[in-house]
Amino acid sequence: MSTEIVETNPMRALRIGKVVVNMGVGASGDPLDHAQTIMEQLTGQKPCQRLAKQTIRGFNIRKREPIACMVTLRGEKAETFLNKAFQAIGKKINSRSFDKWGNFAFGIKEHIDIPGTRYDPNLGITGMDVIVTVERPGYHIDEKKHARGKIGRNQKVTPDESREYIAKKFGIEVGVANE
């Protein structure tokens, strides 16, 4: 009887909360500008720059120097981008990519692997990290200012639930990948 309630309860349904796309180039100037142009073409949103947290003399990186860019996608844009990104990695994801809260991350070695992307010699080729948050409705109750609450144990997403959801929704093979 409890399985019927779980399947029909809308508060138990999983969804993609957000997709964060990150490109770390390790240098400011032209490489960062090229990465921002590529990311804007791929996601349709303007990326924001990320700053270095500390100075690393061996890599010529100074503290607070912009060295990366990122975009946060939500809703339909997030799912559209995920479909393309999964095709770039061959619709396979390692089961160890999932954390204990059901979120997962994977990398794309070359942005030209994403379908619909053309190579531009002026921009070059860069890789990116994709981080996906899987959540249930009401998940942000602990972030509210007024009437803040706690997320119950049954409302949290487990890695197994997340793997099953991603496999069904996007047709992804979740298992041990040979890397």
pLDDT in tens, 161-170: 999 999 999 9
Supply the pLDDT for residue 106.
93
pLDDT at 144 over 80: no
DSSP string, 50-92: EE-SS-BGGGTB-TT-EEEEEEEE-HHHHHHHHHHHHHHTTTE
Q: What is the mean pLDDT of residues 44-67?
A: 86
Residues 6+ apart with CB under 8 A from 170: 82, 83, 86, 91
pTM score, two decimals? Answer: 0.84
> Which token pair is 35?
């990465």
Supply the pLDDT for residue 5.
44
Residue type, 57: R
Q: What is the mean pLDDT of residues 80-93?
A: 92
In which residue are the tokens 């990186």 written? 61
> pLDDT class for 63, splitting at 50, 70, 90?
confident
DSSP 120: -
pLDDT at 78 over 90: yes
User: C-alpha distances in angstroms, 164 versus 9, 102, 129, 158, 175?
Assistant: 18, 10, 22, 10, 11
Tell me the pLDDT tens digit for each residue of 95-137: 899 999 999 999 999 888 888 888 888 888 888 999 999 999 8
The mean predicted confidence, pLDDT, of the chain is: 86
> pLDDT class for 3, splitting at 50, 70, 90?
very low
pLDDT at 177 over 70: no
pLDDT at 152 over 50: yes
Query: What's the CA gap between 139 and 156, in Å, rounded?
Result: 8
Q: What domains are defined for the chain?
A: 11-175 (3.30.1440.10)
